[in-house]
Amino acid sequence: MSERRTRRQAALEAAAKANEAPVTPSSKDVNTLTSNGDGNGQAVLSSDTQVDSGPKENIFLFWPNIIGYSRIVLAIASLYYMPLHPRTCSLLYSISCLLDALDGYAARYFQQSTKFGAVLDMVTDRCTTSCLLVFLSSAFPRWAIIFQGLISVDFASHYMHMYATLAMGGSETSHKNVDKSRSWLLNLYYTNKTVLFMCCALNELFFIALYLLSFSSPLLSPQLLKPLGETKAAAIQTGAQVNSSVLRQLFTNPYSAGALEMARANKMDSTWPWIIAGVSAPVMALKQFLNVLQLVKASRWLAEGDVKSRRAAGLPKKKAEKSA
């Protein structure tokens, strides 16, 4: 009897100890529940759990980036119409440029400012302007070197500025954060939205005006033409548009530079293009000056970083140290 009672008591005592023993959390629970650092033992979610529990976002489908894609589509469409349809091309190109201001507003409104969106915006600007300048080089071959220079300065200045910002300012620094001590003019250009919009808009407007002027010039290099008989020559009237069928008779290749130049001649009046070019020319000159200034400042910033790096590395080393 006493033996049974002893076994029963031992079993009850073992069960009581099992209930009082602390529960050891699993490794998954340890990763999920951690102390909040104040010593009060409150459970908080770890950083991994917080990331997983948040809403998954697709950066490529943010509204500002969608606007950026539409800009690219409009720019490509304008390039298609660029050789012979000035009005359609100018309309599509202008809308693409104006959307550049809308994507920035959308980024602030929807809180969707991203590094990808900033780079997409800059690359789109550079490519569209360069494509228009390439066309102007072919439309005004005598001034091609000027347009080639503008393309080179535009690409070089923005690349140097972006690289200097990343290398010297860090990956979290925006290329628009230009310190006043480096250049108050660049600081004003990048921080004042009105100044930035007017400079970019009037710069593009100047090149659009030049593009339209290429459709009002009747001048053509005579050496581009092949010899004509009197019958075919009589089909061309001074100051009139040339039918495409006539072009095939005049030129060995109807898509040659001479054929396209004649097709563009006298397609529109030059009054408004000249007015637009005259109004926007000073701002265009200012924009090119800012490009050169940006290139110089970025180069100096990178050079300053190189000097600091060489000093930190003890360069240049003395000849005795080299031989040792």
Q: Exposure pattern of 293-317 as b/e (b: 16+ CB <10 Å)?
A: ebbebbeebeeeeeeeeeeeeeeee
Instruction: State how far Cα 9 lies from the chain centre.
Output: 81
- What residues does 44 pair with on adjacent strands? 34
Tokens representing residue 206 in the block:
């100047």
Instruction: Tell me which of 100, 103, 121, 125 is the catalytic residue.
Output: 125
Percent helix, strand, coil in the chain, to 5, is: 70, 0, 25
- Are 250 and 257 in contact by the 8 Å Cβ rule? The answer is no
The CA distance from 323 to 302, in Å, is: 31
In a 10 Å sphere around its CB, with 0-12 CB exposed, 13-18 middle and 19+ buried, how is residue 179 labelled? Answer: exposed
Q: Tell me, yes or no, if 103 is annotated catalytic.
A: no
Instruction: Give the residue numbers annotated as catalytic, written as ranges.
Output: 125
